[in-house]
Amino acid sequence: MTALEKEPVQRLDKWLFYARFVKSRGLASRLCAAGRVRINRARTTKAHQTLKVGDVLTFPQGSSIRVVRVVALSERRGSARDAARLYADLSEPDAASAGGPGGAREGAKKAP
């Protein structure tokens, strides 16, 4: 990369919305303003904070803490499959969670 080329960046609130961690940009902004989001271990209160590929985010989601690495940036909010390509989940697997790989799925029949 030359000195004239800039590394692509994206606003934190947009990325959280595009990656489908929140239902709206407004909710993402409030999460940031409350100081509940960390970028590379540093707390931020600014929704306009810029993200780049490789940054690590830590934030609450439901009753758990999510830790994700930014793998890609996006121009729009796509499908859940597209959103999953934007990050790598670094969170510890929670034994109490029922969903996810290897866990019981909603609507799955229980063994007798």
Tell me what pLDDT residue 37 has: 97
What is the distance between the alpha carbons of residues 112 and 96, in angstroms, rounded to a whole number?
21
Tell me what pLDDT residue 112 has: 58
Q: What is the pLDDT along the chain (112 residues), one digit of tens a residue?
A: 566 678 899 999 999 999 999 999 999 999 999 999 999 999 999 999 999 999 999 999 999 999 999 999 999 999 999 999 999 999 887 644 545 555 444 555 555 5
- At residue 107, what are phi and psi to the nearest 5 degrees? 85, -5
User: Domain map of the chain by residue range?
Assistant: 10-89
- Other beta carbons within 10 Å of 76: 7
- At residue 29, what are phi and psi to the nearest 5 degrees? -65, -40
In this structure, whether the domain defined by 10-89 belongs to CATH 3.40.1410.10 is answered with no
